[in-house]
A and B are shown apart, each in its own frame.
Chain A
Amino acid sequence: MNEMLLVVMLAGRRAVIPAVVVNSVIELGEVTPVPRTAPHIAGLAALRSRPLTLIDCALSLGLDREPTDCRTCRAVVVEHEGHLYGLMVEAADDIVAALAEPGPLGADPGPGWSRVASARIETEAGALPCLDIAALIAGPEEALAA
């Protein structure tokens, strides 16, 4: 059985997240901003009674962009180290099957991507980078500190 992957649109590029780690994909309602925190943490939302920390993935890439609009984006809900996170991406519609095992990235995929992409996977929709959820959550500052 080939691994199923969720295709997301991030900073105008396609990438995949392994479907097994995805809790759900939701549209966001009211978002509570969190003052004085890292820029890529967009705020808090609630998934039933659990708090959902929203990660603006485009800012987490370290790209100099406008914050993603909460009303038009999709949030991919994942659980990481006991906390729920909503990864904000521009679109998350397709599920595709992997055609091969993940392989090395190859040439430098460009600023930001080299940190958040962990591997390259051949899929039914072509070759796509696989996102590293921990790196997305940590954001660009963490990478600088490390």
Chain B
Amino acid sequence: MDDLLAEFVAETREMLGALAGEIVAWEANPDDRARLDTIFRFVHTVKGNCGFFDFPQLEALSHAAEDALADVRAGHRRADSRLVDAVLAVIDRIGVMIGEIERGEPLSEATDDVLIAALAGELDDGAISQIGSVRHSPVTPAAEQRTIRLPVDLIDQVMSGVSEMVLARNDLARRMQSLGADTGLEAPFARLSALIAEVRDAITRTRMRRIEGLFSTFPRLVRDLSAELGKQVFVEIENGEVELDREMIELIRDPLLHIIRNAVDHGIEAPAERLAAGKREAGMLTISARQSGNTIHIGIMDDGRGIDVDKLAAKAIAAGTHTPEQIVAMSREEKIDLIYEPGLSTAETVTAISGRGVGMDVVRANIEKFGGTLEIESLPGEGTRFLICVPLTLSILPSLTVEAGGQTFAVPRSYVEEIVSTAGGNLEFAQIGERRYLTFRDRRLACISLGEALRLERNDDPTLFVILRLGWGDLYALEVDRIFDHHELVIKPLSPGIMKSGLFVGCTQLDDGTPVLVLDVAAIGYGAGLPRELHRPSAITAHAAPRAEREGLRVILFRALDGERRAIAMSVVEQVERAGAAAVRRPGPDAQIVLGEDILPLAGVPADVELPERITVLRLCEGGERIAYAASEVIDIATLDGVLKRVNGQTHVVGVTLIDGETAELVDCHALFASQAAHTPGHGTLTCRLDGDETWMRNFLGPIIEAAGYRIVDEGPADVAFVEGDIGDKDECEARKAIRLRSAPGPADGPDSIYRYDRAALMAALLRAGQELAA
């Protein structure tokens, strides 16, 4: 079950439990205001929560109860025994529904309409007694998922205790090693290690949740918003794998939503305006998350019009918060900061989507309240980027340890894109003055010597480079002397004196207890002169001639895993995301990928190519079918206008065309989805009933039938029924088609009877039945 749903069920159950006593007390004295309030709060909360999920029945019921109780609270209505009965029946009914939701069953049909009518006071006594029977119908409680609420402090305390245990264990391991083999302690030590690991995992899980759960709601939000506003916005989500304290996720939800709404509403221009500005029609919104020490960086970047500082300044003057002289003296950055002034907005008109009076001042205040920061950078015509940094208390950070200038440092792994070495001999360098550039996947990346950045020694002949990806997609190559290992490190805060240098985010300890500094790779990169440019993959096309009048196919241009430039129709691409190679099953034609909670077929994975550690995944969606397509990177969005040349012998490629002077293969979406459709005929729309030896049919036959696209029903009419030979004809009338099975091989004893292990004949019969039904 979905995490959120589980929480909803647990919370509702908890409230129901607490309510039990209140209900009895209220029943005894319906005028008791305090009890009434408690019950009102309960139905109100349930109503609010189920608006979030899709439980219309539950919502209608709790809404009706809320209305009735609100009338009582307002004094428009007296809580007579009928109303009390009806409310109590509703509460019982909510309990039953919660049980059904928890078990994943569909909500049972019941007398909800009667209950709602009773709440509205529209029923006579007869119906009321019927409600009584509803209310007292036996409710068998499901095995509850038991939960308790704990203060976060206590969990923190346990967590830091566990961290200490890990260090003590590492120390013990080191001492045992120096004792040599055969101390007799190995087995108990291994057991202790396993136990500590288990406890650590469990306690970490109590607090952490993947940010993906939050991010996954954004593409839909943006889609709806942009449709409403008549804009085209393409969302890219990066690294939803970052984990964050679950409390923190709740806290950043609203500020993020606000910023995204603002970006779509005010930031990204209407398509015509974009084309006139020489940009591509669809705006790009990038949402990314990175972990860095005890901080999570969340970036929201659009390529829209940027913040109009002059308009902001004019508003500030008009609002009387600043004098014209003050404005003139301000730098552009200071003017951008005016956006935090209460009541200032650049929007001309207040729309339904944003600009409802909740300004950036409130957003920033909300972020700062829990120790976060919000930064805004904006270039006119180029776009705006928001960077939210929120603390992550007590984090365990996967890191890479490296050496420079004779010292060891840790780099947060979420920044590491790749490690390259000159040992392979095929690295290409360029030298611009004193700055070295490394060519990496067709991009020239500035090299920054870690030793030099830290004022240690600079190695003049570096051989190892860690390619780092900063929050905005800026890449650079960090020169290091040695690379040691991946570690899971517990990050501790540094004293303010050391933090002042701004180069480190924290400190951690290696297994032997030595403290190691964790690098702030963004500060090092920018500190060494890396330009803070808005990273736009389409920067080249922005300068090209506007493409307004072209009527070609809109495609996304990407580099496939085999190195080919390919294009795919933009309309089928639902989302672009990055995933680890570990999520890919069985590379080759039958590859699958795990994306969030979905397992999707993955195309574009050659069988003989070793997967890079991280791949870009295009999520394709058409008519409810989903396919993932693997790529190494997205290059651009383009319009197909060249001649398409057919190529032979290429599966899943329609042909080759020229885009910006280079060849690109156009992916054959039809073939992709066709091959997928071949695996799932029928889409489960046809039903099938199994009559006969239940166990055999369920266990042996069931999976084949389901795989063929049928939905198995227990009883009642079905499209197809499998009937075992010795069962009479009486059931057949309830199925549109019947397939008879017999348990003995040999000649058939009827026209439609098949030996139950004659697989070919079985499948053929099933297929024929499906075709005849469809006809």
Contact = CB atoms under 8 A, between A and B. Distances in A.
A20 B294 CA distance: 32
Contacts of B509: 46, 49, 51
B507 interface: yes
A81 B494 CA distance: 12
Contacts of B504: 34
A50 B163 CA distance: 11
A37 B514 contact: no
Given A32-B516, A51-B515, A83 B167 contact: no
Given A44-B515, A49-B164, A32 B407 contact: yes
Contacts of A34: 498, 501, 504, 517
A123 interface: no
B455 A36 contact: yes
A140 interface: no
Contacts of A32: 407, 514-517
B498 A53 contact: yes
B494 A53 contact: yes
A117 B571 CA distance: 73
B497 interface: yes
A53 B496 CA distance: 10
A37 B507 contact: no
B505 to A, nearest CB: 13
The listed residue with most A CB atoms (<10 A of its CB), out of B498, B509, B516, is: B498
Interface in B149-204: 163-164, 167
A53 B516 CA distance: 12
B454 A53 contact: no
A32 to B, nearest CB: 5
Nearest to A50: B492
Contact of A51 (B164, B455, B492, B501): B492
B514 A46 contact: yes
A137 interface: yes
B534 interface: no
A48 B171 CA distance: 10
Contacts of A49: 163-164, 167, 490, 492, 509
Contacts of A38: 497, 500
A85 B495 CA distance: 8
B681 interface: no
A53 B495 contact: yes
Given A41-B497, A51-B507, A83-B495, A35 B515 contact: no
Contacts of A33: 407
A30 interface: yes
B717 to A, nearest CB: 67
Contact of B501 (A36, A44, A83, A85): A36
Contacts of B496: 81, 83
Contacts of A41: 497-498
B454 A36 contact: yes
A41 B492 CA distance: 18
A53 B517 contact: no
B371 interface: no
25 contacts: A32-B516, A34-B504, A35-B407, A35-B454, A35-B455, A35-B503, A36-B501, A37-B500, A37-B501, A38-B497, A44-B507, A46-B509, A46-B515, A48-B164, A49-B509, A51-B492, A53-B494, A53-B495, A53-B498, A81-B496, A83-B493, A83-B495, A85-B495, A137-B495, A139-B497
Interface of A: 30, 32-38, 41, 44-46, 48-51, 53, 81, 83, 85, 137-139
The 3 nearest A-B residue pairs measured at CB = A35-B454, A53-B495, A83-B495
